[in-house]
Every structure is written in structure tokens, then in C-alpha cells.
Amino acid sequence: MGQAVVIRSMVQMAGYLKVCIVAEGCYPYVVGGVSSWIHSLINSFPETEFILLTIVANRSFRGKFVYDLPENLTEVHELYLEDEDWCDNRKKKSLKMKDEQYKALRSLVLNQEIDWPTLFEFFRRPDLSLNELLMGPDFFHIVMDCYNLKYSQVVFSDFLWTMRSIYLPLFHTLMMDVPRADLYHCVATGYAGVLGSMANYFHGSRLLISEHGIYTREREEELIKAKWVKGIYKNIWIEQFRKMSKLAYDKADLVTSLYEHARELQIELGCPGSKTVVTPNGINIQGFDRLAPKTEEDEEYINIGAVLRVTPIKDVKTMIQAFGYAKARQPKLKLWIMGPYDEDKEYAEECFDLVEAMQIKDVVFTGRINVKDYLGRMDMTILTSISEGQPLTILESYAAHKPVIATDVGNCRGLLYGEGDDFGEGGILTHIMNIEEISHAILELANNSERRTRMGENGYRRLMQKYKISDMKKTYEEIYTGFEDGLFVSQGEELPQEDAFVEPQEDWTDVGDETFDSWADIEEDSSDNWADIEEDLSDGWADIEEDSIDGWADIEKTDDRETLK
């Protein structure tokens, strides 16, 4: 279930909050957008004591940090969603649920006015065994009720085992002994939001949720495409994530999002509008004025840069095909795919094979790099994702005065065309998975250098007006100050978005979306253990956003992989 490590002691200063950051599948185990954002946030408030409650798949991640933890981060608590049942079977008696506990668990499974307080109390029982609960008669009868009411068209044995697999990670979460803190700052809803809600219940902690992507929608998109779950079970998983997000929204004092449409989605998913506010991403522009220019060899090409992880959510295959068709008409084109290709090795190999099968020349897979070493050499950048939040790669391109081709997902439309400004287009927007449209956009910019320059300058001005890291830092200073003063930033009235927080200046690191790893599939085992948990490595909880500039800088460049010409 959980493990706590006290790193160092720190005297909490009067008037300052003790803040617990709750992260799911990111910091401090992987370098990425949200990880860099958390690291920078903690460093930006050196007089505030932070503790970290981090959610990972299993104990194989224990203590494997890739960040040097800041001095004011004093504790790390780990929650493992796939874990052993640590209850001592020799000492416990047969598990018996009280009537109100049974009703509360039934309300959870049937999604009927869930009695969360009773559930919180029930899962604190020291004699509670998840093994006995999930294999016991109470859970069996509750699942049977759910089956008879909603899902009697499927085989019951399959339904029962699937329900056990769905509820195991949530039950591990509910059993977590949440540490004390004045403010719980969750960077997602989901399991992180459940932990924040538990801290609110047990310790009276105030709750701030900062969504970099809309967690429930991201899980829905993944489940719809996933191969490891089929039929009605997709709907049951989706309902499970909606329950957790609804709890987090209900208990939160303030809920932030990156752009207005995301805020609208939060409200649509049940978050009271009076709690919501938009806090855009921002990037550290330092060093972008000193980017290395094109090399002598680069001058022979029109370089297109794609800063991403080679994963299905980025739809690299569509990008490769669109580039191939464009290059057939403009031979000077060269595509640089810049980012790791070891997260989904099978998909990466399919991308390499596609380049070879189409016999496309001048496609380079760089692996992990420092983006600042490459962006100055690009003529444009491209992003063909099927899902995004507010992509840092677009803001980084603007910082380098480069235009962008992007699919119409997340806030890409707002970044390219503007929201409340008249700077003009910063690039070309296309539909997702539309090879012809993307290929045409590549050719439009490739054949018009003046348009590329104009769009790049438009994007730069948009960035400088609204998306600097200093703007974001000032916003969170005001939010934290509000909590320090004992104020809930939103108390029943809709926040006017244009002046909810003052916009402003200075230096941080980049932000993005992430969360990682995988859910568990539980299959019946013939051994004494009631279940075997298998990870699905191809479909994770959430897609990890591109690593930020500062995050990339900490990683040594790996080998360049270039196709044979």
C-alpha cells in the first residue's frame, strides 16, 4: 500500500503552509512536463515546507528518483496501486462489515450517492485484509447486485474477476495513511484526488487541484482505444474514474485548468464553476535568444522538428506518412523526431519500419536531447497528437520564433490562433489523423519562407504576452498566499476569468501533462494467492507530456538514429 521516507527535518515557519504535493505516476521518478513543474514549484517557495505523496504502480519504483530533491522537500510517501496484502492472516478474525459499511460499499459499486466518509473510516480498520474483502461474501453479493441490475448479459465469473481488478487499486488508495499537511495540492483528480479528499476528511487539510490535462477525459480516450479491456468493461472503468474525479471536485477548495475549454470540461464533469480558474502554462524563455543557428549542412534542407515521445498518443505514424507525401513534392524537406523512443518500444519499431517501408529519406530519430540544441536549426515544428492539453512544444517553438503545424486538440487552436489577442496566426491547424491535410500544411510552410517568418513572430508575441513562466509563478504565489491567509480563493461566486489573478514575470521551468504506468489486470490463479496482477505496458494511466526544456537539459543526449538514404 504505502511507504514513507523522512528525508530531512525542517522547522515550519509561522504563517507558512505545510504543503503536500500529490503526484500520480510522475515526480520524482521520470523527467517530464508535470515532473519539472512540481520540481520548480517546490524550488520557487524555499521557505515553505513541502512533503510529497506520490502514486506509482508497484514497489519496483521505490526510491528510484531521477531528481535531486529540493532542500524544502522533507518527506516522500509512496502509494503502490499494485501491492501485496500485508494484513497478518494469523492474527485477524473473519472480516465482518457493519450494516452502514456494507451500504457504503454498495453505494460505491452501484454509483448511488456514494457515502465516502463511511468508506474512509472503514478502510482505516487495522484488521482489514483486501484479500479477504475482495474474496469475501460481502463484496461478492454487492457485485452480484450490480451484475443483476446492469450487466446480466455477460458471464458472471468474468464480471466478478474484472470488478476485483477494478477496485483493487482504489482500495489500496483508501487504505493509505495520508500524512498531515495544511494544504494538499493534487496535480490530478483520480487516485490523487481521492487522497486529497481523505486528507480533507481526516486532517481538515484544504484542497487545491491543478489539472494539466482533464484526467477523466484522458482516461476515457485511453480506454476507448485500449485493447486490454473490451465491451462493457470499458464503460465500468470510465465510470470508476468519474466517481473519483467527482469526489475530488466536490471536496476541493480551488480547481485550476490550463485554458478555458478545459475549465468548461471540468464543470461539465461535475466541478462547481465557482471553484474553477484558468492558470495557463508558461515556459522559461531564458536561453532561447542564443540558440545555435543552422549548420552548413542544414542550409541544404527545410527542417521540420517534432519534439515528442514516440508513442501512439502522439500519432507519429500519421506524421511520417504526411511527411513522406510532402517530401515527394518538396525534396528539400527533412524531419527531425526529437525525443525518447524507449517508452513504447513496439510502437517505435513500427515507426522505424514505416519509414523504411515507404522508403522515405531524411527522417532522423534523435532520442533524448536538449531541445535548445536543435530548435534554432528548425524552419518549423509539427505536432500530430490525437490528445493534448496545452503543449509546451508549441510554446518552445514560439520562444525560438518558429511556426507550428498542430492538430486541433486540447488548446492547440488557442495557441495557434490566439485567445483575446490580435497577433495573428502562429501556424497551421489541421484535423487529427488527416494525412492529406497535414501534408498540405507542410508544403504550404515549406514553400513560403516569408509566411514562416511572419507566423513565428506572431507566436513569439503571443508567448511574451501570456505564457512566460513568470506569469504562472506569480499566479501560484497569489493562490498560496490566499490559502496561507485562511481564505478559500473561490467561495460560491463565479470567478471572472479575465482578472481572477494578476498576470506577471520571472523564471521557472516548463509544464506539461503526465501521469504514467498502467492499470492492473487481475486473473484468477490456481495457487494460494487469489490473484495475479499483470501490467499492461502498452496502455498507461495517462500519457506523459513532452519533457520541458529544463528537464531535457539534465539528460545526456543519446544516439542519433537516422534512416539510410
For the chain, 565 residues long, give each residue's pLDDT as a single digit of tens.
666 665 666 555 545 789 999 999 889 987 767 787 888 889 888 888 999 999 998 888 888 898 899 999 999 999 999 877 655 554 555 678 999 999 999 999 999 999 999 999 999 998 899 999 999 999 999 999 999 999 999 999 999 999 999 999 999 999 999 999 999 999 999 999 999 999 999 999 999 999 988 988 888 888 887 888 889 999 999 999 999 999 999 999 999 999 999 999 999 999 999 999 999 988 889 889 899 999 999 999 999 999 998 988 899 999 999 999 999 999 999 999 998 888 789 999 999 999 999 999 999 999 988 899 999 999 999 999 988 888 889 999 999 999 999 999 999 999 999 998 999 999 999 999 999 999 999 999 999 999 999 999 999 999 999 999 888 888 989 999 888 887 654 433 334 444 433 333 333 333 333 333 333 333 333 333 333 333 333 333 333 333 333 333 333 333 343 333 3
**Computed from CA positions of residues 499, 501, 506, 508, in that sequence, does the dihedral angle turn out positive or negative?**
negative
Q: How is residue 283 annotated by DSSP?
A: B
CB 382 within 8 A of CB 337: no
User: What pTM did the predictor assign?
Assistant: 0.78
For residues 472, 475, 481, 485, the Cα torsion angle rounded to the nearest 10 degrees is: -150
CB 222 within 8 A of CB 540: yes
| CA–CA–CA angle 179, 281, 215 (5° rounding) | 55
Query: Which pLDDT does position 488 carry in this prediction?
Result: 55
Tell me how far apart the alpha carbons of residues 473 and 508 are, in angstroms, rounded to a whole number: 7
Q: How is residue 562 annotated by DSSP?
A: E
Which of 465, 545, 563 shows the shortest CA–CA distance to 188? 545
With H, G, I as helix, E, B as strand and everything else as coil, classify residue 358: coil
| Number of CB atoms found within 10 A of residue 315's CB | 21
Backbone torsions φ then ψ of 274, nearest 5 degrees: -65, -15
For residues 132, 133, 136, 142, the Cα torsion angle rounded to the nearest 10 degrees is: -170
CB 332 within 8 A of CB 304: no
Query: Which pLDDT does position 346 carry in this prediction?
Result: 95
CA distances for 90 relative to 86, 95, 127, 137, angstroms? 12, 13, 11, 20
Q: At what angle do helices 316-329 and 345-357 cross, to 10 degrees?
A: 20
The cell numbers describing 465, all together, are: 504576452
For 16-53, b/e burial (b = at least 16 CB within 10 A) is ebbbbbbbbbbbbbbbbbbbbbbbbbbebbeebbbbbb
Backbone torsions φ then ψ of 522, nearest 5 degrees: -110, 125
**Computed from CA positions of residues 523, 524, 530, 532, in that sequence, does the dihedral angle turn out positive or negative?**
negative
Query: Which pLDDT does position 498 carry in this prediction?
Result: 41
The secondary structure element, H or E, covering residue 277 is strand 276-278
Which of 363, 266, 379 shows the shortest CA–CA distance to 322? 363
Residues 6+ apart with CB under 8 A from 129: 85, 87, 89, 92, 95
The cell numbers describing 90, all together, are: 494469523
Strands 363-367 and 561-562, by their bridges, are: antiparallel
